[in-house]
Structure 1
Amino acid sequence: MIQDIIVSLVSFFVVELLQTELSDKPAAARALQAVITQASQCARAASPVLADRVTSDPWWGVATTAQIWSGTTSPETVLGESAPSCAPALQAVRPFLERLRA
């Protein structure tokens, strides 16, 4: 039961944040729609991978959520580490995200 709660919280705080970070923010920076779509699809596809990781290591989930919310790590870094297949999508969207952070 506690694992279900942790998975739900991480899903809400990490996965939702990833999807926002990889769709809304690049759109605000005028990224090409193809880049936004690719990054968003990758975030959605990585959701089960993140959920599995949190299920097997709940402390990683709690620590990662805290790091994202405190700003010590970025959502795209977590996605890149958890789903290496997302590297091309992340490379395409990264310049737009950095432009907004600057």
Structure 2
Amino acid sequence: MIAEFIASLFALFVVDPVQAKIEGRLAAVQAPIEIVSQARACLGTTGPILIERATGDVWWAGATIVKIATGLTGPAELLDAGNPACAPVATYLTAAEAEA
């Protein structure tokens, strides 16, 4: 019961906003369709992993919510670098932010 509540809060305050920010940034920099489709694949696999971690580590979940809300952690930092779909997206976002 508590784990489900934490998962819901984490999805509401972290996963959904991160997904929206990433999609918004990719749209703003007019990313190629390949990067956009990789971003969707990445978020589809990374979101559940983040939620699982949040339910197992409440302190990490709380700290991550605060960091995302205050801007101390960027969306690209939560992407799984080991996921083949996430690496190009994180690289693209980091490069796009550096140019801006």
Counterparts in 2 of 1:83-94, with a 5 A limit? Answer: 84-85=82-83, 86-94=86-94
**Coordinate RMSD, CA, aligned:** 1.9
The within-5 A match list for 1:23-102 is 23-80=23-80, 84-85=82-83, 86-96=86-96, 98=97, 102=100
Higher helix share: 1
- Check whether the contact 2:10–2:61 (CA below 8 A) recurs between aligned residues: yes
CA 1:18 to 1:38, structure 2 compared with 1: closer, same or farther past 3 Å?
same
> Percent identity, aligned pairs only?
36
Aligned residues: 98
Q: Structure 1 stretches of 5 or more lacking a match?
A: none
Letter in 1 for 2:68: I
Where does structure 2 lack aligned partners over 5 or more consecutive residues?
Answer: none
Please tell me whether the aligned partners of residues 29 and 99 of structure 1 are also in contact (alpha carbons under 8 angstroms).
no
Are the aligned partners of 2:76 and 2:93 in contact in 1 as well (CA < 8 Å)?
Answer: no
Runs of 4+ in structure 1 off by over 6 angstroms are none
Q: For residues 48 and 66 of structure 1, what CA distance do their matches in structure 2 show? A: 19
Instruction: Check conservation: 1:3, 1:55, Cα contact below 8 A.
Output: yes
Aligned partners of 1:22 and 1:40 also within 8 Å: no
Shift of 1:99: 5.8
1:72 Cα deviation after fit: 0.8
